[in-house]
Structure 1
Amino acid sequence: MSENNEVRVGIIGYGLAGSVFHAPLIDAARGLRLSAIVTSNPDRAGEAKQAYPNATLYDTAGQLWHDADKLDLVVIASPNRTHKPLAMAALHAGLGVVVDKPLAAHADDARELADEAERLGLFLTVFQNRRWDSDFLTLQQLMVDGELGEVRRFESRFERWRPEPKPGWRQSGAPEEAGGVLYDLGAHLIDQALVLFGPVKSVYAELEHRYPDAEVDDDSFVALTHHNGVRSHLWMSSVAAQCGPRMRVLGSRAAYTSFGLDGQENALKAGARPDQSDWLDNVEDGQGYLTAGSEERAIQNVPGGYLRFYERVAETFRKGEKPPVDPREAIAGLEIVAAAQHASAERRVIELPE
């Protein structure tokens, strides 16, 4: 680590994930130093150099491995197909690793990564930033406070309106690309359901292709039955002309409903920074309601905090503690993704092993 005990971080990939999410959060987080950025795109390299003049720019990951002694941690923010090979290379270079979700395209690949990190005694975690969404944090607090009673049904949606498909690798049907909304948006929804309600015993899914000549799902539904009896109904879509509630959670005492997505992503895209004094002024969060029959009251959603992920990375990396997201939890999510694919193809409920 650096002389002032900062964790030196390199980012591989400077597209949407690298430039909007990872770089600003790393640069703002206490205890981290953004030391290197890898991108082969000249325009993106120019943008990175202007935004982070103290970071070293590399064209390839191979160049980064050559200078591995100048880093402590690498963030993999490149396309899904590269997550496993780049993360494995980083581990073999002796570096800790943060991987943008999904950890890998398949659960077996993710398990190999987790096993190798454990064998080498190196840090490995997954950027599941939606655990720090305002509505998710609000729901967790309501559950802790007992406001909802016994939760029976969890309904959650990530929906967009894109009449025309957005070009890129996410539209490819090649298995190694891990494209489609199930991997893109559904990975967040599944992760949140697992954090809230624990292991799943059965999975049902409807993965639909709405775009002309689509190779991947773009309008999907996944139903999970948890071992504790809670049912999670999850919708993810790129073609929703009208979006439903972001969350509707039904309990024995009351329901929590939230409308609108957490505003941190839009604020980051607009150039706002979470370490600036006006950060919360730039974040427009959704509106929450607590309802019991005819009684309804608006509640202030808890402010989200993506920055807390990276501040926890800095803390746990230095202390050798458990990372903010256990890679084994990401493996469980990928097993549900695979089960959902089978359930949809076979039009049946898939029972998961104990």
Structure 2
Amino acid sequence: MSKPLRVGLIGYGYAGKTFHAPLIHATPALSLVAVASSRPADVIADWPDVAVKTDPAALITRPDIDLVVIATPNDTHAPLARAALAAGKHVVVDKPFTLDVAEAEALVDAAREAGRQLSVFHNRRWDADFLALRRLLADGVLGRVTEFQSRFDRYRPTVRQRWREGAGPGAGLWFDLGPHLVDQAVALFGVPQAVSANLAIRRDGGKAVDDALVVLHYPTLRAVLGASMLVSGGTPRFLVHGTLASFEKHGLDEQENQLKAGLTPAHADWGVDPIPGRLHRWVDDHPQSEAVPMPRGDYPAFYAAVAEAIHGRAPNPVPAEDAVAVMLVLEAAIRASDTNSLVRL
């Protein structure tokens, strides 16, 4: 068996602390050996055996680091990834991959020239509900899909003082939740022909987009993506209509809440979604509805697959080229909203 790959994590805010450090630690093929953070005391409290740096460059240049994971503010993703690739490291970047398509394509080129794996943490490909939907589509249960509705809503009426809700580059809901919504849609249906969008600030005192309604236009399919900070309940996570049946799912995948509560993937309840989906269809001219049980969510699969890709034993679970396609749609939606027009891709 190969020795565990040595991992350096840059950033120990919400993403680094909640997602990356615990999932890396839970992956036998990986070993978290160093963290770069502006809050070293927080890292030491959680990971006393891990080396702590305050300067990302000091971590990137360590010769014993195999993989660098970047979980920093969005506007730093591209320069840090570029530096890590130049230092000969494999790289995982949290979403959004970059701030625009040009940066994303440049990183793909840099990874190719360096001969290193570059992956993007689109973890919600391993949500329980998304795994269930993918299985229904693969089995042809819904028939040909005609409409795909996907929402990711929160109720946070008070604007918080943090970079994600500020006025800086890469801030706002479309850069935070938009990548999840777009990646799932593109993973299922490919890049759309055109995009229309309305991105807005709805909250009192808001400084960045906190409400998004985006439509991806395909030849025979409409994908409607929505996210808001002012929804306290009542909307489905997924509503998918096909020529044979419809799929409806309420509630969010539990893995984020489990990580926040300190659960690990070794826990018996890891990834269990207690809310089944519903399959609606007509049989002999009568409507029928049945429960669709959720498979276990599986965020740990991402890092296990990254390790296998680095060893050359499996494909990259989220190749950077996939993330370039996501950035193309994210950027098109901003342009469509700004110009109140249909943007063709």
Shorter-chain TM-score bucket reads over 0.9
Alignment map for 1:274-289 (pairs within 5 Å): 274=265, 276-280=266-270, 283-289=272-278
State the partner residue of 2:10.
Answer: 12
Distance in 1 separating the partners of 2:196 and 2:2? 51
State the partner residue of 1:157.
Answer: 151
Contact 2:40 2:53 in 1 (8 A): no
State the partner residue of 2:54.
Answer: 59
Alignment map for 1:1-354 (pairs within 5 Å): 4-47=2-45, 51-67=46-62, 69-174=63-168, 177-227=169-219, 229-274=220-265, 276-280=266-270, 283-293=272-282, 294-319=287-312, 321-352=314-345
SS in structure 2 at match of 1:305: coil
SS in structure 2 at match of 1:334: helix
Q: Deviations over 1:251-301 (max 9, x none)?
A: 111111111000000000000000x24243x74443201101420011101
SS in structure 2 at match of 1:54: coil
Q: Greater shift after overlay, 283-292 or 189-198?
A: 283-292
Distance in 1 separating the partners of 2:139 and 2:111? 37
Unaligned runs of 5+ in 2: none
Contact 2:18 2:259 in 1 (8 A): yes
- Kindly provide the amino acid, as one letter, of the partner of residue 242 in structure 2: G
Give the paired residue count: 341
**Once the 2 structures are TM-superposed, how far is the Cα of residue 199 of structure 1 from its aligned partner?**
1.7
Q: Deviations over 1:16-64 (max 9, x none)?
A: 10111001111111211111111121432332xxx33332111111221
- Kindly provide the amino acid, as one letter, of the partner of residue 315 in structure 1: E
Q: Deviations over 1:48-87 (max 9, x none)?
A: xxx33332111111221342x1110000011101101111
**Once the 2 structures are TM-superposed, how far is the Cα of residue 6 of structure 1 from its aligned partner?**
1.1
Contact 2:104 2:324 in 1 (8 A): yes
**Once the 2 structures are TM-superposed, how far is the Cα of residue 335 of structure 1 from its aligned partner?**
1.3
**Once the 2 structures are TM-superposed, how far is the Cα of residue 131 of structure 1 from its aligned partner?**
0.3
Distance in 2 separating the partners of 1:310 and 1:243? 33
Distance in 2 separating the partners of 1:53 and 1:331? 37
Distance in 2 separating the partners of 1:341 and 1:215? 16
Distance in 1 separating the partners of 2:40 and 2:190? 44
Distance in 1 separating the partners of 2:64 and 2:175? 33
Contact 1:262 1:285 in 2 (8 A): no
SS in structure 1 at match of 2:23: helix
SS in structure 1 at match of 2:193: strand
TM-score normalised over the length of structure 2: 0.95
Contact 2:74 2:170 in 1 (8 A): yes
Contact 2:5 2:31 in 1 (8 A): yes
TM-score normalised over the length of structure 1: 0.93
Distance in 1 separating the partners of 2:226 and 2:60? 40
Distance in 1 separating the partners of 2:104 and 2:160? 27
Contact 2:40 2:52 in 1 (8 A): no
Structure number with the higher helix fraction is 1
Distance in 2 separating the partners of 1:199 and 1:270? 36
Contact 1:261 1:285 in 2 (8 A): no
Distance in 1 separating the partners of 2:313 and 2:118? 11
Identity within the alignment, %: 40
Distance in 2 separating the partners of 1:140 and 1:289? 14
